[in-house]
């Protein structure tokens, strides 16, 4: 069996990735398929941390949140990420994968508080650690949380799992001539405003020399191919 290039990773999942073809909420079949890919690399000995977004849950209440104070809306979004983290943990349990949820907000009835040392110990024990509630602060995205947690747990790479198989010169759904980048620099991603991650996340990864890989979690075996260092998706690095 080929050996993984990366031994410890931070996987960023958007909340929308859990929706499947639904308008909002959690599609169980989609979550099960994602967990199967994670289980495959865990069985290869890869240590996996996951930061998850909450857009799929928050989308259902977005009309009611219109005009709401931004900080209040952001805290609601953080709670949505904890809901997603709990759903993901449950799916992993059913798949035979040991997982722990750590929350940046203090919700001890449903999740452990985020403690860096404990998270690293879980990873070393082969458990998947799912980080909920973003950074715990409003005005920061879960992309930024992924960059931050990736650096904190000494991950070797941040993997941004999307519905698109990499970063393109334009939106491939709108422009059939758009081409995929195999590799792009942090500065180019920031200067060209490539919206796959926000500028704060790109900047943090650049400053800490943390490589990023952007790929489609919906391509069968894509996560494993990234871990093996194969030409899958787009790599962002210096």
- Indicate the annotated binding residues for UMP: 54, 74, 135-142
CA–CA gap between residue 53 and residue 192 (Å, rounded): 24
Structure tokens at 38: 């994670």
Q: Which residues are annotated as a binding site?
A: 12-15, 54-55, 59, 74, 135-142, 162, 168, 171
Helix/strand/coil for 216: strand
Q: Which residues are annotated as a binding site for ATP?
A: 12-15, 55, 59, 162, 168, 171
| Residue in 121, 126, 125 with CA at minimum distance from that of residue 41 | 126
> Is-contact 202 190, C-beta < 8 A?
yes
The helix-helix angle for 28-42 and 70-94 (nearest 10°) equals 70
Residue 145 falls in which region: left (phi positive, over 0), alpha (psi -120 to 50) or beta: alpha
- The answer for residues whose C-beta is within 8 angstroms of residue 111's C-beta and 6 or more apart is 82, 85, 86, 101, 102, 103, 132
């Amino acid at each position: 069996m080929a050996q993984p290039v990366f031994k410890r990773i931070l996987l960023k999942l958007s909340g929308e990735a859990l929706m499947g073809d639904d308008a909002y909420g959690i599609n169980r079949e989609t979550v099960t398929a994602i967990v199967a890919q994670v289980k495959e690399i865990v069985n290869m000995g890869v240590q996996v941390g996951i930061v998850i977004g909450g857009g799929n849950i928050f989308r259902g209440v977005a009309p009611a949140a219109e005009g709401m104070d931004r900080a209040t809306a952001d805290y609601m979004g953080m709670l949505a990420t904890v809901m997603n983290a709990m759903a993901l943990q449950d799916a992993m349990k059913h798949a035979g994968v040991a997982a722990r949820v750590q929350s940046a907000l203090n919700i001890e009835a449903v999740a452990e508080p985020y403690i860096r040392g404990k998270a690293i110990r879980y990873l070393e024990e082969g458990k998947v650690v799912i980080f909920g509630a973003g950074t715990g602060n409003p005005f920061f995205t879960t992309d930024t949380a992924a960059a931050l947690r990736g650096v904190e747990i000494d991950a070797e790479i941040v993997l941004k799992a999307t519905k698109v198989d990499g970063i393109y010169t334009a939106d491939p759904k709108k422009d059939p001539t758009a081409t995929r980048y195999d590799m792009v620099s942090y500065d180019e991603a920031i200067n060209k405003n490539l919206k796959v991650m926000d500028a704060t996340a790109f900047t943090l990864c650049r400053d800490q020399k943390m490589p990023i890989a952007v790929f489609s979690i919906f391509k069968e075996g894509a996560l494993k191919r990234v871990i093996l260092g194969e030409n899958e998706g787009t790599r962002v690095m210096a």
